[in-house]
Amino acid sequence: MTDKKLVERNIPGMMNRSTRFAEVEHAENVGATLRRIAAYFARERAMVAAMLGVVVLGTLCGVYAPSLQSRAIDIIAGAATGQLAPAVLWMLLVYLLYSLCQLLQGLISARLSQRIVKRLRGELFGRIIDLPVRYLDAHSHGDVMSRMTNDIENISTTVSQSLPSLFSGVLTVLGTVAIMLVYCWQLALLSCVTVLLTLLATKLLSKNVRKFSRRRQMLLGQLNGAVEEMISGYRTVVAYNHQDATTREFCETSDSLTKAGIKTDVFSGVMGPVMNCIGNIGFVIIAAFGGYFAITGRISVGVISAFIVYAKQFSRPINEIAQIYGQLQTAIAGAERVFTVLDEAGEDMSGAELAADRGASVEFDHVNFSYLPGHPVLRDFSLRVPSGKKVALVGATGSGKTTVVNLLMRFYDLDSGAIRIDGQDIDGVARESLRRDVAIVLQDTVLFTDTVRNNLLYANEHATAEQLESAVDMSRCRDMISHLPQGYDTLLTSAGANISQGQRQLLAIARAFVADPRILILDEATSNVDTRTEKAIQSAMQRIMQGRTSIVIAHRLSTIRDSDLIVVLDQGRIVEQGSHEELLRRKGKYHELYMTQFAGFAT
């Protein structure tokens, strides 16, 4: 885990004063992360060299220009000999070159950042798509998405803005100090007093800004959460007459947020005037002592003018470097988080092909499995599903039904035991080959933002038009699809948000039919459709299941009465198995579940 600290940060043009200081993450292993980032820069050597060349040239022009201004003023004052016009023209050319370098710096750094981020984003997405299901189940989806979006964006911003500013700032400080010492070392040392004042003021003010900024962010999160909760649960709020209480709680949080926001803005708002005041003090010091040195003949009036420019030029990059520091830390921490995902082992796709010229009997042989060590989900689970038969798994929530499916699909690997398909241990079968012969319909329907046609073909992109039409007919989808605006070409937006949950379920079932699998898994496949549609789908399923090995997980026991075998699970073990009539006659666990649903027994 990374250690979060509050440090200064502000990207010029990207943040306002109130967000200058924010909570950022620190990487655990900065050195290793920087070396890996450097490897990406090494692939863009030409562009990096061009950017550094432009930065160096621009910095030299920025440092040299005030000297030309000093000479022009001395020529006007008569303290130096020469022609004024060539001096002014030469100064104009240097400033134009400086501006051109600034423009090229922005263009090159933007292109460099996008090339690096494109490569990094591609590698990260490629790794995420290959991660095992266990990883994605154990990690927050929001956290994984944040690495693809926020962390990558932080790296992009740093490469395009922070790094060039950092290089330019360091060179500017070194060059400015050197030339100031050459002109007048005494005045140079006096000018450094303002730097100390700047650092001291920044430290004192930023402490308060960070404190109130952190509180403001916390309260803002609470306020947004309260609003979201109120809107999503508005019917409940109104039903229980909680409008006044909800409003009162909102106002209390809002008042606290307002106070924290005012304090944050006050302290951050003071920062600018304080910095300007210190800068003006520096100008006064230069004017006073510079005037004295000019009177005594140590320097000219032009040198005083140059020192005023150099003093401003000297303090600006110091402030920028301090502000960029936080962004650099955030980017390095983000890069470390990205590299953590890249270092994860992908799902092992090696193995033999699943024999296609045999049946599809499934055997679970003394299987033991646990998601967390020491917390077994399946205990000595043994079951044989004959080829072409329909087996139903029933039991209370958490009994291990879905885990059986996860293991058969090799989403997870067994702790011990074996699973065989017609005697072939699936542990030695390539996952891709296994999943080609197994189709699954989950309770949580997943569709993609694409056309209805492409969503159906997702299971088998080489399916013919006849196969597609047959799957649609068997799943009772034809009437539903015909009423969509563009039929098969209707675009499903937001993963099917523009159709009902029941319609999404029908399409998911049709998609499984398109796959034409040897083994069919239905995990509460009709949980989101009405009773009439469910009966129609059940009839269709009877046809699609003929000749196929089918494993059905159901809570509605009415949907599995015709199963060849019903297996009752309890705490990861098989406690009963048999036909519907046999299990009812035994008056065991299945009888209890059945009577609870259909006889109105208390639960």
Cα 455 to Cα 477: distance, rounded to the nearest angstrom:
13
Cα 105 to Cα 181: distance, rounded to the nearest angstrom:
28
Whether 109 contacts 159, CB under 8 Å: yes
Indicate if the pLDDT at residue 286 is higher than 50. yes
Cα 543 to Cα 546: distance, rounded to the nearest angstrom:
5
- For 277-288, what is the mean pLDDT? 79
Indicate if the pLDDT at residue 384 is higher than 70. yes
Q: What is the pLDDT of residues 304-362, one digit of tens each?
A: 888 778 777 777 777 677 667 667 777 888 888 888 888 888 888 887 888 776 668 88
Q: What is the pLDDT of residues 155-197, one digit of tens each?
A: 888 887 777 888 888 888 888 888 888 888 888 788 777 777 8
Indicate if the pLDDT at residue 10 is higher than 60. no
544 compared with 241, residue with greater pLDDT: 241
The pair of three-digit structure tokens given for residue 192, joined into one six-digit string: 């450094």
Query: Taking the C-alpha atoms of 204, 209, 211 and 212 in order, what is their torsion angle to the nearest 10 degrees?
Result: 140
91-100, 490-499, 515-524, range with the lowest pLDDT: 490-499
Q: How confident is the model at residue 536 (pLDDT cuts 50, 70, 90)?
A: low
- For 203-232, what is the mean pLDDT? 77
Indicate if the pLDDT at residue 237 is higher than 50. yes
| pLDDT recorded at residue 8 | 32
Q: How confident is the model at residue 418 (pLDDT cuts 50, 70, 90)?
A: very high
Tell me the β-bridge partners of 367: 381
| pLDDT recorded at residue 69 | 80
- For 389-394, what is the mean pLDDT? 88
Q: What is the pLDDT of residues 21-73, one digit of tens each?
A: 444 455 667 788 888 888 888 888 898 899 889 989 988 888 888 888 877 88
| pLDDT recorded at residue 369 | 92
Indicate if the pLDDT at residue 17 is higher than 50. no
Q: What is the pLDDT of residues 94-150, one digit of tens each?
A: 889 989 998 998 899 888 888 888 898 899 998 888 888 888 888 777 778 878 887
pTM of the model: 0.71
Instruction: Please name the residue that has the structure tokens 């996952």.
Output: 431
Tell me the β-bridge partners of 353: none
The pair of three-digit structure tokens given for residue 219, joined into one six-digit string: 């309260």
**Measuring CA to CA, which residue among 450, 485, 74 is closest to residue 458?**
450
